[in-house]
Structure 1
Amino acid sequence: MTVLSVNVNKIALLRNSRGTNYPDLLHFVRKIIGHGIKGITVHPRPDERHITRQDARDLAAFLKDHPDVEFNVEGYPSSDFMALIDALRPAQCTLVPDEPGQLTSDHGWQVAKNRELLGQVLPLLRQWGVRSSLFLDPVPAAAELAAEVGADRIELYTEHFARIFAAGDGAQTQAVLQDYLETADRAVACGLGVNAGHDLNLDNLALFLSGGQVLEVSIGHALVVESLELGMDEVLRRYQAIIAAAPAPDLSSASRGG
């Protein structure tokens, strides 16, 4: 079954807007995993506008008591970020090509242009026992390059799919989805696992998972917004139902991709 990893950045953003510990991030993480969710994602940015480095440390310590819940830490592989990963040793590190002040992730790696950097940091993650994932656009050739530089998985950047889906053009949505399916298939053929994330939500997730190759979806912004309308308990139940009804991913790719 595809793993849902809940990105809790927006909960931290709401907390930081008042300078207190309300809402309490760990309280909501307990609530999330209490529903049987098996993944927590954070993206600590240099300006700490939402998740702070201390949050990441606190979550890593908390999740040690929940070994069945994977901790995924996203970020650009600066020296500071890599030092944090070395200290935390999360289950997974998703590398994203973001600029320091970027509002949100909006493109995947150009792997060929960043081969030297990725060739330096990916072996470190493997040495530390941390599964690596590269944030990629839906381009099959990019999946091949990700395998060449030594990544364990890719994370498909799904904003384009979500935008086309929301526009309501079924034929165009299927055409765009095909790009993602072909990239996922190429990744699996190269021995990589496949994750996905960015703007997936209760409306579009079922269609996106219909290809059956996705091991993990990371969802945060939409989940928090949907929780404002429906309540978090109901939203988590709905996501779990969608995932339970989706085709199961090929677990052989899970073993090859960590």
Structure 2
Amino acid sequence: MAPRPLGPLVLALGGATAVLGSVLFFLWKVYCGRERRWDSSEAWWGAEPARLLDWAPEEEEEETEEEPSLEQLEQREVLVLGLDGSGKTTFLRVLSGKPPLDGHVPTWGFNSVRLPTRNFEVDLLEIGGSQNLRFYWKEFVNEVDVLVFMVDSADRLRLHWARQELHRLLDKDPDLPVIVVANKQDLSGAMSVLELQRELGLQAINNHREVFLLAASISPEGSNSNEPGTVQIWKLLLQLLS
């Protein structure tokens, strides 16, 4: 999949929160675009050594050409969205090998992680899921290669809001591949993947669109990058971005 060309973002932002969002996004783009030294002991900038594979073992082939330098790697961008409390920040922290946060800390702006792989770099951008930030989600959808939408499987009271926001994003870009993550499957009262498929209206989506629904239990307590759901999401991301 070829990377999408990044056009200028046109954000109709008003008030202090909007101004802060614009500044943070600009800083994120500058941060991701800077030339940096590559430390082979790290999987990505400022993170612990990698635990996730950047390609499946069975796909690994004997290298016949020199591996491209970090400066030569193409860039892929992934947007991570979902209602507040769905597990977006924990997902990014698991991927980056960072320790869990104490308690639930809502994201009021942006979080980002960069993960170099063999052939390209993956930049994951999380935008806060509180109601006042959801208005700006659609402004970023056309600027990325894949959307990851996190859903709290046990949050039945707000599921209709998750469905509404998801379909707004789907309508914004009909060609964008989407991975819907049915998170917190380990909690009592969590809806099954089949229930969520029905309640989120995924069966009604055009068959020509790439929409995937994966189960996960990404827990902030003892975050584990080898959790099956996390590994499956990462492998699917690599397939979609390749």
Give the TM-score range, shorter chain.
0.3 to 0.5
Higher relative contact order (CA 8 A, sep 6+): 2
Q: TM-score, normalised by structure 2?
A: 0.38
Q: TM-score, normalised by structure 1?
A: 0.37
